[in-house]
A and B are shown apart, each in its own frame.
Chain A
């Protein structure tokens, strides 16, 4: 793991929606080639954290640096250059339903006009191969493939332009355990093959144990525990223990009115 400038450097990240404070001063670094997994309950601010880094949500305060460059305030070509370092796998896939599978995968290559349509199609089919899909799915529409295949196509789209950093938003949600494990294996294999830095958010502890180098737990808009994945079972944090064992009783209380 690199000891130089972190790939992602976040300090004092804050975001509120109206009166609801979602992020309350988040600090973390992700080293090049590292896999950080953020865990936490629903509505704890996991998705907002990565959307702030991607520039999809404007934070209220804090700094975000990518390779030492401040991401805030970039526009035009500088912003495009920064975005070209990122890939994102959305929870629902977010595939463009009016396009075929190969057009989805090759979307960035076509838009950047770095490839002709024919070259882009070939590159898409090669990338589909990396996620275990054959060329026979290339001309299908997203509505014609299964949930697991859709995730794989979305993963192929995220890696097609060979980004340096990939964000995974609950990559195994809604999948059966076997398909979820296949997706976890794919994440590990593409990460190793392409030397990617990854930030994932998930509730799925099997996924955490498989894809994480380091785990951070978010609660009430702050990271309350960060440590190696091997240390998660002996974290010494009641919050982490409650979360990883999926217990209703403990320091984390859901806003549920008792009958």
Chain B
């Protein structure tokens, strides 16, 4: 077997699936913009994606903030730079850790659920049934999830930011003995609007990508339980990889000089 041919085939398959995903995304965006909209379905998805993800995102954020404060202290105390801990916590959480960790947690919870639900609908012919009932599956299944995830993730990340910073505050005050007033003053002095905005933009992009991967892999799920299981795995893995990739791209857009 020619190894170059194998590399070429893999590369062509990658290009082909990237093209299919791009077309799927384009069609999804078109149906998000063009009426009619299924408001009831969007609201239900906002509840599923946003409200029910709050506990897992909140827990992730609080422990991340707490660990960040502890680790920064152990490192920075060697250089007598403990005063920078508040800045480290708030900037890390709002710019990076809040959106990325919330995105990864939601990709695991919501991306998998979307892929499993749509995949099951595919293998049980419910998607074909939608078409025969004069309902466009893209408009009914894909668009509400894309809209809901894109709108909801920034709100989730905003909550995660607040909880994460509070986690760092609690550890800094109660365990490390910082002065609460000066800790909060340091936090708000260093924080700029752009730090929060960049995190929220990232969150919106991540939300869109998570829903897109869930819908895409579910929609193209192969027959049987194994097909749906595979779609779920692909949704989480590709969603997570895209989150990390686009995290760099958006960071580059906001903070490169």
Contacts and interface: CB of A to CB of B under 8 A. Distances in A.
Contact of A88 (B121, B132, B135, B140): B132
Interface of A: 51, 54-56, 80, 83-84, 86-88, 90-92, 94-97, 107-108, 111-112, 157, 161
Contacts of A97: 124, 126
Interface of B: 121, 124-126, 128-129, 131-135, 140
Contact of A83 (B124, B126, B132): B132
B114 to A, nearest CB: 13
Contact of B132 (A86, A95, A96): A86
B133 A107 contact: yes
Contact of A91 (B125, B132, B140): B125
B136 to A, nearest CB: 9
A94 B124 contact: yes
Contacts of B121: 96
A111 B125 contact: no
B131 A56 contact: yes
**Of B125, B128, B132, B134, most A-chain CB atoms within 10 Å:** B132
19 contacts: A51-B128, A54-B131, A83-B134, A86-B132, A88-B132, A90-B129, A91-B125, A92-B125, A94-B124, A94-B128, A94-B129, A95-B129, A96-B121, A96-B129, A97-B126, A107-B135, A108-B134, A157-B133, A161-B133
Contacts of A111: 133-135, 140
A108 B134 CA distance: 7
B192 to A, nearest CB: 44
Given A111-B140, A157-B133, 4 more contacts: A56-B131, A94-B126, A95-B126, A108-B134
B134 A96 contact: no
B134 A90 contact: no
B126 A96 contact: yes
A55 B137 CA distance: 13
Contacts of A157: 133
B37 to A, nearest CB: 12
A232 to B, nearest CB: 29
Nearest to B129: A94
A96 B133 CA distance: 12
Which of B128, B133, B134, B135 has its CB near the most chain A CB atoms (within 10 A)? B133
A108 B133 contact: yes
B134 A112 contact: yes
A55 B131 contact: yes
Contacts of A112: 134
